[in-house]
């Protein structure tokens, strides 16, 4: 720990109102060594890992409902929206990683050190709401999976998900690589389950390829546009920007200009490759929904429970439904692991407070579990479905408040020095921000008034 803190002044504090303090996740900060010699592959593998923790947020249970609804209603048409969302995510995550590597600050700390205290507090409250909303979707997703696979009542399933706090504590005490390894294993499990489901559902390959080409119908059809924006809102996760900007700092890269440049390159490769796995899984959910429900004329399938029960009679085997349930459980548990870490990063980054690790995580989990338990107890399955929708609306509302500061900071020469975004990247990033903000405003308007 003392070694890590000694190294902190090597990063610049120029361009910031407040001096940077101890990093978030101090127990794992700069804990993974990067080899100074050897091939580029050896160095890249040392950097590989944070991108997969980030990718988890792009395949959480909140995405499932929108992908299932899009596939059942419109076939393969909205695959282009999943691809576009993923490309936006790749750009934003690359900027988040660069911010953390260059400045030694995660996005939460950067907001605290740039904005006035009232503004920073407002951003913190919005971010906590978004993390709670995301955590809510993950808790409910895991509980639904436990109910579908093992018949465990939803309310007990919600309580069981709280145990992931102990898993994170145990793994982080062993080293950050253990958390990364578990997450990668769960991602591979999800991918394998859907690869088999795709094989069983026998989709139209020509239709899939055509679906990845954007169609004007997406804009002209109000229902299609609404679901498309829902897919975008469920794909680009605000808490992932905070998470990524912190966990890239678990690597002990050289604090020289060359060392930071190399770290940015490898971290960008890591997150880009990982997000293509997320693209495959999100596309797979929509493809399976299209090849089964849409093909059978079932255009109203929008809930996870319905999809699980309908897959068996359509595919003619229970294997499809079981794999669907296993993938959902892995997705929910994976997302709760990274959501808990994001909650810790945001609390420490914005407030600069230090609490015992178990207490920080317990607070984060309770914020999500308490409303989930109450709604599940009062309203059952219908309540949890509405809660899933509400969680995505809250995420959409908060996204702009994470994206705009991120682009602003990485485009500021005083803060980034030689690593400032070039003009073409600034223009591209602001176009992405404007698209995201406009679409999310439309989504919120439709949700509350449409």
Contact indicator for 357, 340 with CB cutoff of 8 Å: no
Give per-residue pLDDT as tens, 251-267.
Answer: 999 999 999 999 999 99
User: pLDDT tens, 204-262?
Assistant: 999 999 999 999 898 888 888 888 877 876 677 788 899 999 999 999 999 999 999 99
C-alpha span between 79 and 283 (Å, rounded) = 6
* CA within 13 Å, CB half, 349: 31
User: Which residue in this structure is represented by tokens 């109000």?
Assistant: 222
For 271, the token pair is 């997150």
Average pLDDT for 160-176: 72
Q: How far apart are CA 93 and CA 97, in angstroms?
A: 6
Higher-pLDDT residue of 403, 399: 403
pLDDT (0 to 100) of residue 340: 76
Assign 182 a pLDDT band (cuts: 50, 70, 90).
confident
Q: Does domain 47-449 have CATH number 1.20.1740.10?
A: yes
Under 8 Å between Cβ of 75 and 304: no
Q: CA 44, CA 38: separation in Å to the nearest integer? A: 11
pLDDT confidence of residue 3: 41
**What is the rounded distance in angstroms from the CA atom of residue 425 to the CA atom of residue 252?**
27
d(C-alpha 314, C-alpha 24), whole Å: 49
Q: What is the pTM of this model?
A: 0.90
pLDDT, residue 450, reads 64
Bridge partners of 251, per DSSP, are 32
Residue whose structure tokens are 């890249």: 44
How remote is the C-alpha of 443 from its chain's centroid?
19
Quote the mean pLDDT of the chain.
85
Q: What is the pLDDT of residue 374?
A: 78
Residue 64 to residue 61: CA distance in whole angstroms? 5
Residues 93-150: pLDDT tens digits?
A: 999 999 999 999 999 999 999 999 999 999 998 888 887 777 777 778 888 899 999 9
Phi-psi region of 397 (alpha: psi -120 to 50; beta: other; left: phi over 0): alpha
Helix axes 423-449, 357-410, angle to 10 degrees: 120
Listing DSSP states for 134-190 in one string gives: HHHHHHHHHHHHHHHHH---HHHHHHHGGGHHHHHHHHHHH-HHHHHHHHHHHHHHH
Q: Residue 403 has which token pair?
A: 């994206």
Strand, helix or coil for residue 251: strand
pLDDT at residue 262, as a whole number: 94
Q: Which of 8-17, 41-50, 81-90, 236-245 has the lowest mean pLDDT?
A: 8-17
Confidence of residue 11 (pLDDT cuts 50, 70, 90): very low
Higher pLDDT residue, 271 or 392?
271
Torsion, Cα 113 118 119 122, to 10 degrees, reads: 120
Please give the Cα distance from 438 to 400 (Å, whole number): 10
Question: What was the pLDDT predicted at 7?
Answer: 42
Quote the pLDDT of residue 8.
40
Helix (H, G, I), strand (E, B), or coil: what is residue 296? coil
Using the predicted structure, report yes or no on whether residue 369 has a pLDDT greater than 70: yes
Is 274's pLDDT higher than 50?
yes
pLDDT of residue 9: 40
Q: For residues 216 and 37, what is the distance between their CA atoms, to the nearest angstrom?
A: 51
- Closest CA relative to residue 407, chosen from 74, 58, 110: 110
Query: With the C-alpha atoms ordered 84, 85, 89, 91, is the resulting torsion angle positive or negative?
Result: positive
pLDDT of residue 259: 93
Average pLDDT (12-22) is 74
Cα 257 to chain centroid distance, Å, stands at 30
Angle at 319 between CA 317 and CA 323, to 5 degrees: 145
pLDDT at 12 over 70: no
Gap between the Cα atoms of 13 and 20, Å rounded: 7
Tokens coding 269: 């490769």
Predicted confidence (pLDDT) per residue in 279-321, tens digit: 999 999 999 999 999 998 888 776 788 888 888 888 888 898 9
High-pLDDT (> 90) share of the chain, %: 44
pLDDT grade for 164, boundaries at 50, 70 and 90: low
The residues, ordered by sequence, that sit 6+ positions from 306 with a Cβ below 8 Å of its Cβ are: none
Task: Give me 37's structure tokens.
Answer: 């010699």
* 33 bridge partner residues: 252
Residues 6+ apart with CB under 8 A from 216: none
* Confidence band, pLDDT 50/70/90 cuts, at residue 165: low
């Amino acid at each position: 720990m003392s070694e890590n803190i000694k190294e902190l002044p090597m990063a610049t504090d120029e361009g910031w109102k407040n001096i940077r303090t101890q990093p978030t996740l101090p127990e794992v900060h700069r804990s993974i060594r990067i080899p100074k010699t050897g091939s580029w592959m050896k160095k890249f593998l040392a950097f590989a890992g944070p991108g997969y923790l980030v990718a988890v947020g792009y395949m959480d249970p909140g995405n499932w409902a929108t992908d299932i609804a899009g596939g059942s209603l419109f076939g393969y048409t909205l695959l282009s929206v999943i691809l576009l969302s993923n490309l936006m995510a790749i750009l934003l995550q690359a900027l988040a990683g660069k911010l953390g590597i260059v400045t030694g600050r995660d996005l939460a700390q950067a907001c605290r050190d740039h904005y006035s205290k009232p503004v920073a507090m407002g951003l913190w409250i919005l971010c906590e709401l978004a993390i709670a909303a995301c955590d809510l979707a993950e808790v409910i997703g895991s509980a639904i999976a436990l109910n579908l696979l093992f018949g465990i009542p939803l309310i007990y399933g919600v309580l069981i998900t709280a145990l992931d706090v102990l898993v994170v504590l145990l793994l982080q005490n062993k080293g950050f690589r253990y958390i990364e390894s578990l997450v990668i294993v769960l991602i591979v499990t999800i991918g394998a389950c859907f690869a088999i489901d795709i094989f069983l559902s026998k989709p139209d390959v020509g239709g899939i390829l055509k679906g990845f080409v954007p169609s004007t119908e997406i804009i002209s059809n109000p229902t299609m546009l609404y679901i498309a924006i829902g897919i975008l809102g469920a794909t680009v996760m605000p808490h992932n920007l905070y998470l990524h900007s912190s966990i890239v700092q678990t690597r002990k890269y050289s604090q020289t200009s060359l060392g930071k440049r190399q770290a940015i390159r490898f971290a960008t490769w890591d997150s880009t490759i990982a997000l293509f796995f997320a693209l495959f899984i999100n596309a797979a959910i929509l493809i399976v929904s299209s090849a089964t429900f849409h093909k059978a004329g079932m255009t109203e399938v929008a809930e996870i429970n319905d999809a699980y029960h309908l897959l068996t009679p359509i595919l003619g085997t229970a294997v499809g439904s079981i794999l669907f349930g296993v993938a959902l459980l892995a997705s929910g548990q994976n997302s709760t692991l990274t959501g808990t870490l994001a909650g810790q990063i945001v609390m420490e980054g914005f407030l600069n407070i230090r609490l015992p690790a178990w207490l920080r995580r317990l607070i984060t989990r309770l914020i999500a579990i308490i409303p989930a338990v109450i709604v599940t107890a009062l309203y059952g399955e219908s309540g949890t479905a509405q809660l899933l929708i509400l969680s995505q609306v809250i995420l959409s509302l908060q996204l702009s408040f994470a994206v705009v500061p991120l682009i602003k900071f990485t485009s500021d020469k005083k803060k980034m020095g030689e690593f400032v975004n070039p003009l073409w990247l600034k223009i591209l990033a602001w176009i992405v921000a404007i698209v995201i903000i406009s679409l999310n405003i439309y989504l919120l308007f439709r949700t509350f008034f449409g």
